[in-house]
Amino acid sequence: MDFRFSDEQRMIRDTAAAFLAEVSDSAAVRAAMATEIGYDRQLWQRICGEMYLQATHIPESCGGMGLGYVELVAIMEQMGRYLLCAPFFSTVCLAGNALLVAGSAAQQQEYLAQIAAGELTATLAHTGVTGEWGAQGVTAVYRQRAGQYVLDGKLRYVVDGHTADLLLVAAREEGSSGEQGISLFAVPAASAGIERTWLPTVDQTRKLAEIGLSGLAVPASALLGEAGAAWPDLSKTLDLATIALAAEQMGGTQRVLDMTVDYTRERVQFNRPIASFQAVKHIAADMMLKAEVARSAVYYAGCIAQEALSGDALGAELPEAASVAKAYCSDAYFANSADALQLHGGVGFTWEYDVHLYLKRAKASEHFLGNGAHHRERVASLLLDTPNA
């Protein structure tokens, strides 16, 4: 048992941090968030071409680096810390994981290889207009017709859905319900029958879209796994993505604390730095507690995700580890951002200071893939909905 980063993992984290500090400063974030596509294509090319971050946990057989989930988590932490605007989470953590979990060897060779090479952006579209995260949230439907699948319905809250090259779409067989009848399809976003609409968002640093499917016909080769039996794979994909998102949240949780400590040490009132007031120190201490506890949850979940991907024993803990991390990090990130705003006083309420960017990202990330209450309920049903032994 050793619950520490290896030297190599530390190096990966530090390299990513140094790069992001340079390319994802406040000005860069603000420039990207003001656009409809939401990111700087040149920067994305550097991320992919110089840093190979997108290739981190993609197997070497598909042209990736073949590293583990802990490395990915370490990178996501830094992306959250620097509020990176890029289609990384959608391409790597949503679509990439779906392909890793559910894709055939051929599909992986085709799509994962293109992702690893930085030639393809992708995303996962699974929840319908209700925005529910469980199986019942899958509301788009498909029918089989002449060896093809025909898809209809509306998918919402699709991260980078308006810009991604490839869509992994979850739909259910007409008339099915719950966990039954769900299938996953890999579909080029430019296909006829797909209408993509950007949804402007409060958190401008991550873009969402609505995707309308009307009579979208896809070949059988687009199907990932077995028809109608995709829920376990989809669920696993969502758990993996949830852990990556929790890592990003944790990076933000720490960053707003750092900003607050810096600011309160500089700002003088009553002839003292405001950091010397105990009311301020105690809030900061609670913020540090949340950041550290979030970190413990995320690193552990990262290890479990790795076990789950490589089929090791502890992988069975994946759903729980994902919910533990997401429940804690969702609440911690928003609480720390809110406290950060409070301790910045009036300037914290200005557009000019960055605190609001984090506050907004925190709320959006909290809701995406299920908020604290959603994940606590998931844990509760694991614990409580079986009879006493």
Partner 1 sequence: MQLSFSAEDEQFREEVAGWLQRNLTGEFEQLKFRGGPGDEHMFPQERKAWEQKLAEGGWTCVGWPRAYGGRGCSIEQQVIFFEEYARAGAPGRVGHIGEGLAGPTIIAFGSQAQKEKYLPGIVAGTELWCQGYSEPGAGSDLANVRTRARFDATRNQWLITGQKVWTSLAHESDYCFIIARTDPDSAAHQGLGFFLVKMDQPGIEIRPIQQITGTSEFNEVFFDDAECGADDIVGAPGEGWKVAMGLLGFERGVSTLGQQMLFQNELDEIVNIARDNGAARDPVIRQRIADAHIGLKIMRYNSLRMLSGSEDGSLQQEALIYKLYWASWHRDLGELAMDVLGMQSEILEAPPYELSRLQSMYLFVRSDTIYGGTNEIQRNIIAERGLGMPREPKVQIKVQDSQ
What residues make contact with partner 1 under the rule CB under 8 A? 1-6, 9-10, 70, 257, 261, 264-265, 272-273, 275-276, 278, 280-282, 284-286, 288-289, 292-293, 295-297, 299-300, 302-304, 307, 313-314, 320, 323-324, 327-328, 373, 376-380, 383-385, 387-388
Pairing between β-strand 272-273 and β-strand 268-269 as defined by DSSP bridges: antiparallel
**Which residues, 6+ apart, have CB-to-CB distance to 61 below 8 Å?**
108, 109
Shorter beta-carbon distance to partner 1: residue 102 or 303: 303
Tell me which DSSP letter residue 124 carries: E
**Which residues, 6+ apart, have CB-to-CB distance to 110 below 8 Å?**
none
Shorter beta-carbon distance to partner 1: residue 119 or 312: 312
Question: What pairs with residue 199 in β-bridges?
Answer: 208
CB of 332 to partner 1, least distance (A): 10
> Three-class SS string for 320-361?
HHHHHHHHHHHHHHHHHHHHHHHHHHHHHHCCCCCHHHHHHH
Maximal C-alpha separation, the chain: 79
CB of 3 to partner 1, least distance (A): 4
CB of 287 to partner 1, least distance (A): 9
Shorter beta-carbon distance to partner 1: residue 92 or 280: 280
The helix (H) or strand (E) run that includes residue 79 is helix 69-81
CB of 285 to partner 1, least distance (A): 4
Which whole-number Å values give the CA distances from 43 to 18, 28, 65, in the listed order?
15, 10, 20
Report the Cα–Cα distance between both ends of the chain, in Å, rounded.
Answer: 31
Question: DSSP 3-state assignment of 53?
Answer: helix
**Which residues, 6+ apart, have CB-to-CB distance to 143 below 8 Å?**
149, 150, 173, 174
Shorter beta-carbon distance to partner 1: residue 106 or 383: 383
Shorter beta-carbon distance to partner 1: residue 24 or 264: 264
CB of 296 to partner 1, least distance (A): 4
CB of 134 to partner 1, least distance (A): 16
Shorter beta-carbon distance to partner 1: residue 85 or 298: 298
DSSP letter for each residue of 191-246:
STTEEEEEE--SSTTS-EEEEEEEEEEEEGGGEESSTTB-HHHHHHHHHHHHHHHH
Backbone region of residue 181 per phi and psi (left: phi > 0; alpha: psi in -120 to 50; beta: other values)? left
Shorter beta-carbon distance to partner 1: residue 173 or 320: 320
CB of 384 to partner 1, least distance (A): 4
Cα distance between residue 267 and residue 347, in whole Å: 11
Shorter beta-carbon distance to partner 1: residue 46 or 376: 376
Shorter beta-carbon distance to partner 1: residue 110 or 292: 292
